[in-house]
Structure 1
Amino acid sequence: MPPLPLLALAVGVSVANPFYSQSLLPPIAADLGLDAGVSVLVPAATQWGLSASLLLLLPLGDRLERRRLLVLSAAGMALACLAIVLAPSFQLLLPAFFAVGLCALVPYLLPPFLAELTPEARRGQVLGTLLSGQFSGLLLARSFSGVMAELAGWRAIYALSALLMLGVALLFRHRLPRQQPPQPLGYLALQRSQLRLWLRHPALRQACLRQALLFGAFMAIWSGLALHLAAPPWRFGPAAIGAFGLVGLVSIAAARPIGRLVDRHGPGLIVRAGCLLGLAGLLLLAFGAGSLVSLVIGMACLDLGVQGTYVAHQTTVLSLDGTARTRLGGWLFFTAYLGAALCSLLVAHVWDSWQWHGTALFAAGLVLVALLIPTSGDGSGRLTPPGRG
């Protein structure tokens, strides 16, 4: 087995790929002669690919040999990034970006893979370490791609990523053990089983709904923050606004200690603490909007709270049924992204009417609802008796 920090790095390299394009839209539009509105189809195609992947491909982790699926996902991502580098037109670029989303499975396959190999007493710590790599990739994707675009053009980051993902595929192929799913099912039965899992486990439904609300609040406030900092009295430029994302370093550093706290005290306590911390941060953002210090502290509290609940929720969900970990994790990932997408649409209307204060209070309302959702089960992360899934 590779060292855990190396696997966390592989997750960070993998999770960044779908998010590079968000800071590259102006140079993409200029290079291909596109209107700004048309260039928005690039990240949209990636998100549609990711959604299709989470719904249709991720459940295969409970049917196929898992190391092979990880290798194929990493190699597919390398090919998708190479297709972006070589695409001569926008008509060919969109399918390549869709393929980037479709192949973005490594961050979602590796946690259940390692959960299968990890003793229950250390599962939270291991997942926290992987998530620190995931947070790092998300945090650095936008700023790093912008720097690469300035130095060598917008396609350069995808050329580099193609090489890195090829290295990840080779690492998985030669260093990970083979892992057969406990009870492989046919594909149609696998898809039908997802609804049964949703209906069978109240803790799954609660974790998914709670994380969707929290991710929705997180994305809403980050969307509003760029508009708030670009307006008077701040008038920050893109570089200064992007640097604000460095408050996420707090959650990166805290991910592994949070995992240990989950192992020691159970996920339920960490979820409640994360919701309360996020709510406090949002109230500080709403009522301290004129202070840069308040904005920094508020964003750090929100980021730490949301990411802390993510560690706890993942520990809970992956412990519900040892025969269906990939499908259970897929529900958590899919609903989190769905909540983020829906709330990002809503925040445009909130901003038009109530600007920053309304956006911050809207996000606070989402977190408050998440805090009020009850918790089922013992909250210990112990496995329930395996079902057929």
Structure 2
Amino acid sequence: MTLTQPRPRADASRGVLLLLALTCGVAVGNVYFPQAISPSVAAGLDVSADTAALVVTAAQFGYAAGIFLLVPLGDRVPHRRLAVTLLALTGLGLLAAGAAPGVTPLVAASAFVGAVTVVAPVLGPLAAGLAPPDRRGTVSGILLGGSIGGMLLSRTLGGFAGEAFGWRAPYVGAAALTLVSAAVLARVLPRTEPASRERYPALLAAPLRLLRTEPGLRRSCFFQAAIFGGFSAAWTGVALLLTGPAYGLTTRAVGLLALVNAATMFCTPLAGRLADRRGPDAVNRVSMLAVLASAPVLALGGLGGTAGLAALVAGFLVLDVAMQSGMVANQVRVYALSDSERSRLNTAYMTCAYLGGSLGSWLGAHAFARFGWGGVCGLVAVLAVLALGKAARSPAGSQKRVGSQGA
């Protein structure tokens, strides 16, 4: 049994959209700031760089698990109640991580934080419901821009705070921001009615069913898992590169490198408009080619010095814009499949994407340990080629479009 979710008033939706974008940034940042402070964690807890990188991998694996286990509740539980609860739990988990006495409890706390900070994929379907079908790409781009801002600023601020006050400080600061966001959302987010009365086991089974029956969903999942895997591998590896002998820099440098990619926030709304006008397939193909092109540019970063830093800046700018633009296109494809199962569709998509990202982080750390920075860049190129091969075998415009018909 499904219920039609009432649309908030148009004059309220603009302000709510900005709030949702800001909240997405705060929540998503909790997954990414550990990338910037991984070397500080290694030094502070006296563990190897590979061991410290498990904190990043645990957060991303936790995020994938949280998407699968918790995001389907967005079709069953009112969005405000679910989002506020998740934010409150995230704040408590961050405080626990900041107080962790060793790497094992830190990894466990990171996995918990990753699992409950899944507010962005909960709010994405809500925001899509605020917009008419021909503007969902634009709306998705705005929310993704907020998420990107959180990704970039969290790395930057995390790197600065980690260097100045130690690796625990970013966790405490992130906890404060997250708990404030929970309080604001509890007062401002409009009430919505659930889109489904199905029981929790049925909600969990739905993403697997949708993966089996929706070819457009499977394509989006594969595209994003491959590209996001390369993206995560590169960001995990570059922290080791910049703080290693080639550059001898601090974690602050990792944060500054992330900050130069702030232009990505302004590119995702444009990618959304292009997906609305020309379809997601065209945007996907361009984004994959851009990821492939970024790999040799990033590889020049291994030279060190000013030229190497310039190559890293240029390469990561292209990589970030391409990955996020592809994510917008994939979400446009996914949200068009069914209005009544939007959260469950997003669950399948985001779970696959973050499984790819967490695997990419793990592979990136091991590729750097065995082959250096060149091995990480080679991994980015291989994953982009795999995505392009899948796109070439998939006929454009083959997705099923159900729209308001539901499932």
Length-normalised TM-score, structure 2: 0.83
* Helix, strand or coil at the partner of 2:195: coil
Give the corresponding residue for 1:75: 88
Contact persistence 1:276–1:371 (CA under 8 A): yes
Cα distance, 1:333 vs structure 2: 1.5
Matches within 5 A, 1:194-213: 194-213=207-226
Contact persistence 2:66–2:118 (CA under 8 A): yes
Q: 2: CA distance between counterparts of 1:323 and 1:78?
A: 31
Deviates more, 1:258-267 or 1:355-364: 355-364
Structure 1 residues 20 and 242, CA gap change in structure 2 (3 angstroms): closer
Deviates more, 1:338-347 or 1:280-289: 280-289
Cα distance, 1:12 vs structure 2: 0.9
Aligned AA (1:302): L
Give the corresponding residue for 1:307: 324
Give the corresponding residue for 2:334: 317
Cα distance, 1:60 vs structure 2: 1.1
Q: 1: CA distance between counterparts of 2:270 and 2:119?
A: 23
Residues 83-116 of structure 1, C-alpha deviation per residue, up to 9 Å, x if partnerless?
4456677776555434322211211111111111
1:120 aligns to 2:133 (yes or no)? yes
Aligned AA (1:322): D
Structure 1 residues 142 and 285, CA gap change in structure 2 (3 angstroms): closer
Residues 306-359 of structure 1, C-alpha deviation per residue, up to 9 Å, x if partnerless?
111011111211221111111111222211221122233334554466544443
Residues 123-154 of structure 1, C-alpha deviation per residue, up to 9 Å, x if partnerless?
11111111111111111223312323455554
Cα distance, 1:283 vs structure 2: 3.4
Aligned AA (1:204): L
1:132 aligns to 2:145 (yes or no)? yes
Aligned AA (1:345): W
Cα distance, 1:377 vs structure 2: 6.8
Gaps of 5+ in 2: 1-11
Give the corresponding residue for 1:270: 283
Length-normalised TM-score, structure 1: 0.86
Deviates more, 1:256-265 or 1:209-218: 256-265
Q: 1: CA distance between counterparts of 2:195 and 2:158?
A: 40
Gaps of 5+ in 1: none
Cα distance, 1:387 vs structure 2: 4.7
Aligned AA (2:379): F
Paired residues, number: 387
Q: 1: CA distance between counterparts of 2:107 and 2:300?
A: 42
Structure 1 residues 42 and 285, CA gap change in structure 2 (3 angstroms): closer
Deviates more, 1:141-150 or 1:123-132: 141-150
1:187 aligns to 2:200 (yes or no)? yes
Aligned AA (1:7): L
Q: 1: CA distance between counterparts of 2:52 and 2:379?
A: 29
Aligned AA (1:225): V
* Helix, strand or coil at the partner of 1:16: helix
Q: 2: CA distance between counterparts of 1:378 and 1:96?
A: 43
Cα distance, 1:228 vs structure 2: 4.6
Q: 2: CA distance between counterparts of 1:140 and 1:14?
A: 12
Q: 1: CA distance between counterparts of 2:161 and 2:369?
A: 34
Q: 1: CA distance between counterparts of 2:258 and 2:38?
A: 19
Cα distance, 1:173 vs structure 2: 2.2
Contact persistence 2:62–2:114 (CA under 8 A): yes
Aligned AA (2:224): Q
Q: 2: CA distance between counterparts of 1:38 and 1:346?
A: 13
Aligned AA (1:111): G
Structure 1 residues 233 and 175, CA gap change in structure 2 (3 angstroms): closer
* Helix, strand or coil at the partner of 1:81: helix
Contact persistence 2:163–2:250 (CA under 8 A): no
Match of 1:336 among 333, 336, 353: 353
Structure 1 residues 90 and 362, CA gap change in structure 2 (3 angstroms): closer
Structure 1 residues 152 and 61, CA gap change in structure 2 (3 angstroms): same
